[in-house]
Structure 1
Amino acid sequence: MAPTVNSEVTALSWLRNVLVTYPLPIFVAIILFRLLWNKYQRNLVSIPGPTLAAYTKFWRLYDVWKGKAHLTAIDLHRKYGPLVRIAPNHVSVADPSYIPVFYNIKEDYTKSGFYPIQCISWKKKPEMNLFSTRDPHYHRREKRKVGAAYSLPNLLESEAAIDACIQLFMDRLNEFATKTQSVDLGAWLQYFAFDVVGEVSFAHRLGFLEQGRDVDGMMKAIEGMLNYAALCGQVPEYHKYLLGNPLFAKLMPAMETWNAVLVFTLKAINSRASIKRDGELLNADSEGRDMLSRWAYVKSSDPDKMNTRDIIVHLSTNVFAGSDTTAIALRAVVYYLCKNPQCMAKVVAEIDEADKQNKLSELVTYKESTTVLPYFTAVLKEAMRVHPSVGFLMERHVPPEGAEICGQFIPGGTIVGINPWVTNRDPSIFPDPDTFKPERWLEASEAQNKQMSDIIDLNFGGGSRKCVGRNISMIEMHKVLPQMFRLYKVELTEPDKEWHIYNNWFVQQEGVMCKLTRRTK
């Protein structure tokens, strides 16, 4: 046995000497091997895309960092076709027929590592919400607890509270109209969306409209969180070394105060109830129609169905995601109508005609907007088509057995997905796709209308993972915009100037500066 032992010792000694003598060449060789391995993966090597993207995901990271990834996606698919390899193990798909395949009820295409980054830390542990969890069983269990609160009938029970926000919003706009001051309407639309989230979630406004500012820096804080999630989400394996490092919770006990959304949510809850140091929720009013009241009632009657952790996780999700996406859509409607005066004139004429026929209440109701304002509804859909709130690939893992996608076999574990900015501009379904044309929704056949609607619905996700807050957003948009156009003439302060767009997962806009004139009937 001695010669064998000596041989092993000699080999180890030789290897050690090589590593010590040639560390840099060996390191370079390892990197080159990894890059080539990435590039020449079986079944993926033939998929077209940017050259560097096949070698390293840092190409995609850089693209996201520039803030225009949604435009890159459109350009790539127009150049390469329905399949584009945008990272070594990522394939972007442009064929809308795969929307119900990737985003279905079965959830056999599971979420990628991009999503868990966007969770909260509660009692020093990461707590997944309906959006961030990758576990289909956990998602189904949690959705059963809270899904009913987001149903359209239940949300419409809070329509009077939303009306109070709309009335306050109109009053604040009147101040600008009276003084003939230019107003950052984009910011005020987000203030409005935040206050509606407050009414629906906590039965009180969060102070954005009253104060006319970003309360507690929440909008800025969410922007920072989205920037981190957008960038780290391209290389999610590094999250555990960054803000997801479990050592932080041990070394920095106050770490949870870094999450401004959680702190803001706890503050809002404490305005109605009290949370003890151990995290227990006490004295919550269980009689109201808001979500805190509904869930507090469930908790008090059956703690096994709902606990304090559940309430905090889901309410914080409302705060995090409930204003940005709605505000983006509201800004898009205002901007594109101002840029297309002929469309604005049609919207205003339709509202005035409905008003003349006494079909509108003092404050436009959701039912009225969706039934007697068909052109406005078409405008809303078209704005959401042209400017979806989400600007990244909605990533999913191909099932273990692999799948044939657009005639190409894609191995199991590959990350695939669809970017709404790509499918919303499919010229075979939306002719002249870069043009804002609300009439397309009124001229389409019933079958075409359904096909188009199914595609833009991806703005809210799909299948069992469709955004539970979708109804809140739609109620807000269908109510506040007709009311605003009913009362005010809205024009861009600098009509020839383009707005600024930055994609940090949500495609945010700046530059909706407007002048308002009170309309006389």
Structure 2
Amino acid sequence: MTAFAEGFQALVQRDLTWTLMPTVATVIIVAWIIRSTLHLRKIPGPWWAPYTRLWLFRALYSERCADVYLQVNRKYGPLVRIGPNHLITNDPLTFRKILGVQSKYTRGPWFDALRLDPHNANLITERHRQKHDALRAKMAPGYQGKDIPQMEHAIDRNLLTWLDYIQKHAVTTQERHVAFDMARSIQWLLFDMVCHLCLGHPLGFIDQHEDCYGFQNVLETRLPIVEKFAIFTEVNTWIKMISHIPIVRRVLPSPKDKDGIGAIMGVAQKTVNARIAQGIPPKHNETMLDSWLRNGVDGSLAVTEVTIALFAGSDTTATSIRALLLHIITNPLVYKRLTDEIRNAATSTPIITERETKSLPYLQACILEGLRIFPPITALRERVVPPGGDTLNGVYVPEGTNIGLNLPGLLRNEVFGPDVDVFRPERWLEATAEQRQRMDRVHELMFNWGSTRCLGIRLAVMMMGKVVVEVLRRWDVVALRPQRPWRSRCHGIFLQRDFDVRVVDMEGTVR
């Protein structure tokens, strides 16, 4: 009788458990929804953003997330909720607070998606503050040119090779009409420039004028996938867990690959091995790689850093140059004023010097305005609110909240005037001293701030100035399709092609 009673009781409990499971699951889901709704309830945003990360996914999937981010801040204000635990800001004071040297904010799991190796971070992806700052100190002299007096000479050599290519293959004459894809060509130029600075020699992108090693193709096919991992960060954790499995390791970039990112890593690996075997050259007679190794960067990490420099440094600068040229050649007033300044200036030949580009005020105004109207980075680069939470824009934000930095929105701040959506370089020359200071304070945040401020600012601005000057003092450039000048896809950075232009001798003569 006792055994029967115990069996019956167990049966009842089992059936009761199965009966209660849906109820328990429902309670858990409802509790999660309530928490998702309430913990950031005072912050406005799209009505469905508190319940799912699909709002963010849709923004990225549209390939126009820069416009989406810009509009969401304009609609809801400087601090907007765009996910269950995700905010976005375009407020300069919040940018400065989050990125400041004394800030307690940390890099969020978004950065893990950019790792080439799930188990090893680099300068861009390192989330630990002290480790990042230590690595940054080792790499800064190379990026800033302090250890490389021949930095400008290396840039000039590659620029001359590129200009010669255009003269031979891209200039329209009476005998030929050329639709020249300036977007792709500038990409090849920047790849070789960065390779030369890092490794001591270009890799043939300019000479062959094609995607050597399939590097660009891999970026364009994989980047749209990788950026989704930055939203669904659980994927990064899974990849890290299973990455030791041999079949999974084969999917990750490897120096043994014959093309793509891995192939570039292979070239870098050979150069690193050669440098270590031969010994680093004397100081002030070296490449960026030499500088990094001399300053204590590990050889295996240096391989990754070369690849990241090629990816992050070349693409962003290429986008900045493409966008600047597009806005110049499609604006007759700007085009006339800038070409007059360039062609009437007494500057060095065959390539203008960095110092001379800084002496051309309208050119510098165009560079500032080009970066403002079309910033090359749109990724949110989320930071995490520190323990204890914080108050932003008068609203308490709990600790652990991810806050994305809306760079396109920041650079359309009212400080730049009532016509922030217009490319107008004159705003930088017409501003009073006080206005100019306020504009500069906002504009400088596009390169990050504090301990994460971009190390390649000098390089980027130098390259922009030199390329624009040397193109416009040699030729006139016309967009072949001003109503649809290029194909531009936004995936945190821009993937651009089909920027077809007509290059002719100055004043439009064809000979």
Rounded Cα–Cα distance in structure 2 between residues aligned with 1:229 and 1:453 = 33
Rounded Cα–Cα distance in structure 1 between residues aligned with 2:373 and 2:11 = 64
Question: Is 1:382 aligned with 2:369?
Answer: yes
1:150 corresponding residue in structure 2: 143
The sequence identity of aligned pairs, in percent, is 25
CA deviation digits over 1:133-185, x for unaligned, max 9? 11001001111221111124445531111111110110111121054311110
Rounded Cα–Cα distance in structure 1 between residues aligned with 2:367 and 2:215 = 27
Q: Structure 1 residues 141 and 403, CA, compared in 2 at 3 Å: closer, same or farther?
A: same
Rounded Cα–Cα distance in structure 1 between residues aligned with 2:11 and 2:341 = 85
Question: Is 1:108 aligned with 2:104?
Answer: yes
2:64 corresponding residue in structure 1: 68
2:483 corresponding residue in structure 1: 496
Question: Is 1:351 aligned with 2:348?
Answer: no
CA drift at 1:431: 2.1
Q: Is the 8 A contact 1:158 1:289 kept in 2?
A: no
2:202 to 192, 196, 205: 205
Question: Is 1:396 aligned with 2:383?
Answer: yes
The code of the aligned residue for 2:277 comes to L
CA drift at 1:117: 1.7
CA deviation digits over 1:195-234, x for unaligned, max 9? 1101110010121101100111111212334223311101
1:274 corresponding residue in structure 2: 273
CA deviation digits over 1:304-326, x for unaligned, max 9? x3331232232222122121100
Secondary structure of residue in 2 paired with 1:501: strand
Rounded Cα–Cα distance in structure 2 between residues aligned with 1:144 and 1:177 = 44
Q: What is the 5 A alignment of 1:82-97?
A: 82-97=78-93
CA drift at 1:48: 0.8
Secondary structure of residue in 2 paired with 1:244: helix
The code of the aligned residue for 1:59 comes to W
Secondary structure of residue in 1 paired with 2:109: coil
Rounded Cα–Cα distance in structure 1 between residues aligned with 2:108 and 2:41 = 21
Rounded Cα–Cα distance in structure 1 between residues aligned with 2:315 and 2:324 = 14
1:301 corresponding residue in structure 2: none
The code of the aligned residue for 1:221 comes to V
The code of the aligned residue for 2:424 comes to K
1:189 to 180, 186, 189: 186
Rounded Cα–Cα distance in structure 1 between residues aligned with 2:138 and 2:206 = 31
Q: Is the 8 A contact 1:161 1:199 kept in 2?
A: yes
Structure 2 residue ranges without an equivalent (≥5): none
Rounded Cα–Cα distance in structure 2 between residues aligned with 1:322 and 1:256 = 21
1:302 corresponding residue in structure 2: none
1:517 corresponding residue in structure 2: 504
CA deviation digits over 1:396-436, x for unaligned, max 9? 11121221111111112212232111011123433211111
Question: Is 1:176 aligned with 2:174?
Answer: no
The code of the aligned residue for 1:210 comes to D
Rounded Cα–Cα distance in structure 2 between residues aligned with 1:90 and 1:29 = 24
Q: Is the 8 A contact 1:128 1:313 kept in 2?
A: no
Secondary structure of residue in 2 paired with 1:509: strand
Rounded Cα–Cα distance in structure 1 between residues aligned with 2:452 and 2:184 = 29
Q: Structure 1 residues 341 and 155, CA, compared in 2 at 3 Å: closer, same or farther?
A: farther
Provide the aligned C-alpha RMSD in A: 2.6
1:289 corresponding residue in structure 2: 286
CA drift at 1:284: 5.4
CA drift at 1:518: 2.2
Q: What is the 5 A alignment of 1:407-418?
A: 407-418=394-405
1:119 corresponding residue in structure 2: 115
Structure 1 residue ranges without an equivalent (≥5): 299-304
1:229 to 217, 226, 232: 226
CA drift at 1:286: 2.3
2:54 to 52, 58, 61: 58
Rounded Cα–Cα distance in structure 2 between residues aligned with 1:158 and 1:193 = 14
Rounded Cα–Cα distance in structure 1 between residues aligned with 2:412 and 2:148 = 32
Secondary structure of residue in 2 paired with 1:422: helix
Q: Structure 1 residues 269 and 489, CA, compared in 2 at 3 Å: closer, same or farther?
A: farther
CA drift at 1:364: 0.8
CA drift at 1:283: 3.0
Secondary structure of residue in 1 paired with 2:71: helix
1:159 to 134, 143, 152: 152
Rounded Cα–Cα distance in structure 2 between residues aligned with 1:183 and 1:19 = 70
Secondary structure of residue in 2 paired with 1:177: coil
CA drift at 1:361: 3.4
Rounded Cα–Cα distance in structure 1 between residues aligned with 2:47 and 2:119 = 37
The code of the aligned residue for 2:472 comes to F
TM-score, with structure 1 as normaliser: 0.88
CA drift at 1:130: 1.2
Secondary structure of residue in 2 paired with 1:400: coil
Question: Is 1:138 aligned with 2:131?
Answer: yes
Q: What is the 5 A alignment of 1:357-372?
A: 358-371=346-359
The code of the aligned residue for 1:351 comes to I
Rounded Cα–Cα distance in structure 1 between residues aligned with 2:188 and 2:14 = 63
Secondary structure of residue in 1 paired with 2:347: coil
